[in-house]
Amino acid sequence: MKKVKIHIRNNHWKEGFLPCDPEGEKHSTITNEEFEKGLGQYPEIKDKIEYLVDWDDDSYLSSMKEADVLLGWQFPTNNIREIAPNLKWIHVSSAGVNHLSPFDWMKDDLILTNSSGVHSKKAGEFGLMSILMLQNQMTKIVTNQKNKEFVTLLSKPIEGFKVVVVGTGSLGGSMIKHISKLGAEVIGINRKGNNVEGCSKVITFDKIDEVLPSTDFLYLAVPETEETKGLINKTRLDSLKSTCGIVNIGRHSVLDYEALRIKLEKNEIAGAILDVFSLEPIPKDSNLWDTPNLIITPHISSDSQGNYIEMVLKIFFKNLKLFLENKELINQIDRKLGY
């Protein structure tokens, strides 16, 4: 029986791209040891595969000529049909796949899966922390500390405050479970308006303008798609109360950062916590660094220290077993929706 050939592509860190520093590279690297450890849970497939752990383009072209499966995050999509004529399945080691969009480079029968779900536990806790930081005015307190100003800022418990969560998948959904237990009123926004545990109401994206004026905290946890790009523009930011706080753990493109920056400067938004940026690291000369009442976190809202790759490989090996059995894979990306 012919063995299934797997190409594993790791990326060295470089400026302006993920991973963006040595720690990020260490965190996202799939090593031989990690792969063998995961494979050890599936002894029945060990003799049915062969694999190569690679870096960037070191052996990419030669290996991909015969590869059936590609596992990695970033890879060149140009001419991939010619470079990898046998390629049947790609697994991406992140939840987001917007860096591979548009998907016209894919053959119709090429399957693309992601690692959605591995982030949920950590993202839920980060989200709870972020909303409570905003509720307790920590963005203002940090700004006051920078300015050596000791100012009394009081706050109430979160119970009864309205949290609007845009994107109720594994990331947003995990946070909703936490915050709803504290008595917050949670309104979810997703593509279909499906019910979500912990939400008092769920609406579709096109109804968002109905809830923004009464929102106390706006939590953004959506992937980048044609539907979400520019969703929270200047007009929608202007419709928010000046006491509203904003968190973005989804994608930069969903929110107009420049319009938000200006509103923070004018005290027209109470505070914001931003975890995602179009260019990472943020340039040293970016105005965001000195924006008052803004806390910047370096894209760490959903990354679990020490076991991220282990969790990614759990999904991959579960799918690899299904792949070898010619069964339908989990976590498949709908290329029309972009997630």
Pair of tokens at residue 240:
């928010």
CATH of 120-296, picked from 3.40.50.150, 3.40.1190.20, 3.30.70.20, 3.40.50.720, is: 3.40.50.720
The C-alpha angle 213, 164, 288, rounded to 5 degrees, equals 85
Regarding the domain delimited by 4-118+304-324, which CATH topology (the fold level of the hierarchy) does it fall under? Rossmann fold (3.40.50)
25-67: pLDDT as tens digits: 988 999 999 999 999 999 999 999 999 999 999 999 999 999 9
Q: Where are the alpha helices (DSSP H) in 104-256?
A: 120-135, 138-146, 170-181, 234-238
How far is residue 82's CA from residue 18's CA, in Å, rounded to a whole number?
26
Cβ atoms of 249 and 299 within 8 Å: the answer is: no
CA 339 to chain centre: 11
DSSP state of 3: P
The owner of tokens 């947003």 is: 172
Q: What are the sequence ranges of the domains in the chain?
A: 4-118+304-324, 120-296
Q: What is the mean pLDDT of residues 190-202?
A: 95
List the one residue out of 207, 169, 170, 203 whose CA is nearest residue 186: 203
91-101: pLDDT as tens digits: 999 988 988 98
pTM, two decimal places: 0.84
Whether 4-118+304-324 and 120-296 share one fold: the answer is yes
The residue among 27 and 160 whose pLDDT is bigger is: 160
The yes-or-no verdict on residue 319 having pLDDT over 90 is yes
7-26: pLDDT as tens digits: 999 999 987 677 888 888 98
Pair of tokens at residue 178:
């936490």
